[in-house]
Amino acid sequence: MFKKVLSVLGLVILVSGCQSTLMEPSTEQVETNSKSGNAKMVFIRSAFVGQAIQASVFDVTNNETKFIGIISNDTKVSFDVTPGEHMFMVVGESADFLKANVIADKTYYAVVTPRMGFWKARFSMFPVRNDQSSKFQYDSKDFKEMQKDAKFVKSGIKAEQWAVKNSPSIAKKLAKYLPEWKAKALTKQQAATVEVIDHL
């Protein structure tokens, strides 16, 4: 009986992490170009499972942690970056990473996908490509529907305060999980890397 109650309680905890109210709706809902000389990364949420659980995304290039935003189901966040190589981190119960090699004046997409952990969802990120070498392709029906349904959101005071409050936990996950990602087989790293040609 106790195990059954615990299971139900765990499910309630899992699904009660409702869609984020920390982020703010973006006034610009149309895809726009990056600032001249920069590239644009767009992180979009795919949620076939764990729809109610939110993920936080960071730029951790050169071990400098920059908060990008919190992504809930049917939302997307755009982030301007300089041309070159970048590393991004998504945090849930654990952390996972996406490398990106980008060039100026191009827009790149990454899909944040949940997978169930012990108490809440874990997340991974995958590049969207123009060929079949990734789980997600720009010309696929699934991605087009995802892109149509997702609304742009942006960070605000509440989200920034959340990031500051949780920075010790975020730093621990970066220190723990980035070495594990770098130790993965090259094929697995490549599957989680946005290449220069993977622009929209």
Q: What is the pLDDT of residues 11-66, one digit of tens each?
A: 333 333 445 578 888 777 666 667 778 999 999 987 555 556 788 999 999 988 99
pLDDT of the residue at 119:
54
- H-helix or E-strand spanning residue 153: strand 151-154
Structural domains in the chain plus CATH codes: 38-153 (2.60.40)
The DSSP element (H or E) to which 200 belongs, if any, is none
E strand or H helix at 112, and its extent?
strand 107-116
Indicate the pairing of strand 55-59 with strand 193-194.
unpaired
3-state secondary structure of 2: helix
pLDDT for residue 7: 37
With cut-offs at 50, 70 and 90, classify the pLDDT of residue 72: confident
Res 127 pLDDT > 90: yes
- What was the pLDDT predicted at 126? 94
Task: Give first-to-last CA distance, the chain, whole Å.
Answer: 53
Write out the E strands in 8-146: 24-25, 39-45, 55-59, 66-71, 75-81, 84-91, 95-102, 107-116, 121-129, 136-137
Chain mean pLDDT for the chain: 83
79, 49 Cβ separation under 8 angstroms: no
With a cut of 60, say whether residue 85 has pLDDT above it.
yes
Bridge partner residues of 95 (DSSP):
91
Mean pLDDT of 125-149: 91
pLDDT of 194 reads 96
> Hey, what are 47's tokens?
């949620």
Task: Say how far apart CA 59 and CA 68 lie, in whole Å.
Answer: 7
